Amino acid sequence: MTDYLLLVIAAFGAGVVNTIAGGGTFLTFPALVFTGVPPVVANATSAVAVFPGYLGGALGFRRELAVFERAALLRLTAITLAGGLAGSLLLLVSSNRAFSVVVPFLLLFATLTFLFGAPIRAWAARHSRGVTPQGALGLFAVSVYGGYFNGGLGIVLLALFSLWGMSAIHQMNGLKIGLSFVLSSISVATFSVAGFVEWPQAIVMMLAATLGGYAGAPVSRAVPAWSVRAFIAAIGFGMSAVFFWRLFAV
């Protein structure tokens, strides 16, 4: 019962955090590992757990998503699906040991990318010409990352949007949540067919993440951007340190 309470709290917090700025898997993945789920299965189960939260967040950001042209959204969706499928298949052939070695580096990379998002956006504002073919390649690469390791996906997407020259944070959040939902859809389908999901934990966490995802939209509009960044950076560095410790303590 204590394990399930921890998973519920982590999933609700992940739903809120994913909607605000990304990084919710920093909560769900460690919680699953802490309760005894093997790393690869924990990552797959975590992706399933936060999936409804992305849907709730996308509904909360309907107004921001409506700003984008339908053709552009369809194009970005197709790229995201292709990359997400490739990353999900890569996870299926990874061993727990190999995945455990890679995780802390992925967490640290995602956190540093998010932390330095402001300078990236400033540079992009001077040099970017919007969504280009290079941007499509970047989205494919980020989607592979997201399919393989969902942790920090929203953080990396926001950094990518900065490179595209986007600066309206609410529109960036709306697009981030929409593409995260698309990517999670293909990941959930892949992991489910492969039998990599602990369904009792996943179902409980899905319900909590859905509530958290919908609650996150109004919170995102009300909370100052700097405080969100500080909170996510603290989570990212903290979880990176924990997993580096676990790696070298073995």
Q: What are the domain boundaries of the chain?
A: 2-249
DSSP labels, 58-116: HHHTHHHHTTS-HHHHHHHHHHHHHHHHHHHHHHHT--HHHHHHHHHHHHHHHHHHHHT
Structural contact between residues 151 and 107, judged by C-beta atoms closer than 8 angstroms = yes
CA distance 164 to 120: 10
Of the candidates 202, 182, 207, the residue with the CA atom closest to the CA atom of residue 192? 202
194: its two tokens: 């492969």
Q: How many CB atoms lie within 10 A of CB 2?
A: 7
Tens digit of pLDDT at every position of the chain (250 positions): 788 999 999 988 887 877 776 667 778 888 998 898 998 999 899 988 878 767 777 777 888 888 888 888 899 999 999 999 999 999 999 888 888 888 888 878 777 876 776 676 566 556 655 555 557 888 999 999 999 987 777 777 877 887 777 777 788 888 888 898 899 899 999 999 999 999 999 999 998 888 887 777 777 677 776 776 677 778 778 878 887 887 787 5
